Amino acid sequence: MDIAENPNKAAAPKQKDAIGEKTQKLFQDFLELFKSDGTGVPKYKDGARELIRPERNTLEVSFDDVEAFNQRLATTIQEEYYRVYPYVCAALKLYIQDIGEDIPANKDVYVSFADVNSKARVRELTANKVGTLIRITGQVVRTHPVHPELVKGTFICLDCQTAVKDVEQQFKYTQPSICRNPTCSNRSRFMLDISESHFVDFQKVRIQETQAELPRGSIPRSVEVVLRAEAVEVAQAGDKCDLQELSLLYRM
């Protein structure tokens, strides 16, 4: 967050998350140190370099590799996925910078996990699964159009013109709780600066139980899954899919 250009933009530091920061450090170590069999080159170095291309933003990582590197890291990601995922992505961006690639400061990059072992059926997606890393199979019964989703917003205070950067969105349009200018008490009058905000492609798809998983005499259940970034427009209605990176799902 850049607040040096205007002293009025100073703000209280964000609350630290020790688990998130530890996960970020360990995942960056994984990217730097995990090597393919028989080679001395980090396995994901070439894939990370690809993300400097404008059309690319997602690195696929085998969860088996994470488990082989550090079981505690794998367990934390699996059990606290929603909590630590932003730190995992931050580790990837730092790794790209450390290997000497010039990636725009305002570009977001993402990690997609494959080979996830924690598999669940659609009807097993109960409250205790919320926020964890899970894997489901099913059939796509409906897809929605792709839309831009606001991920981090930059807002202009309409009272003093202070820019409030990197306001994370929490499942709905979220404005700053208060202006960051210490001499301004505005809590409600803000305008979104689209050019300085971060967006990602966003698509909803509905996944339904397959006949093979359906208990006798039961009605198929379905969930609505949110796809982002390079995952959008991959699945079409009628496709059978294996979704290996899910954190929050909503029962229909």
What is residue 235's DSSP assignment? -
Q: How many CB atoms lie within 10 A of CB 17?
A: 15
The pLDDT of residue 9 is: 34
Residues 69-95: what's their mean pLDDT? 94
The pLDDT of residue 241 is: 85
Residues 183-206: what's their mean pLDDT? 92
Q: Domains of the chain, with CATH numbers?
A: 18-114 (3.30.1640.10), 118-251 (2.40.50.140)
Span of 21-25, 122-126, 236-240 with lowest mean pLDDT: 122-126
The 10s digit of each residue's pLDDT in 165-175 is: 989 887 789 99
> Percentage of the chain with pLDDT > 90?
52
Secondary-structure percent of the chain, ordered helix, strand, coil, rounded to 5: 30, 30, 40
The amino acid present at 207, given as its one-letter code, is I
Contact 243, 131 (CB under 8 A): no
The pLDDT of residue 8 is: 36
Contact 116, 244 (CB under 8 A): yes
Look at residue 151 and tell me whether its pLDDT is greater than 60: yes
pTM of this structure: 0.78
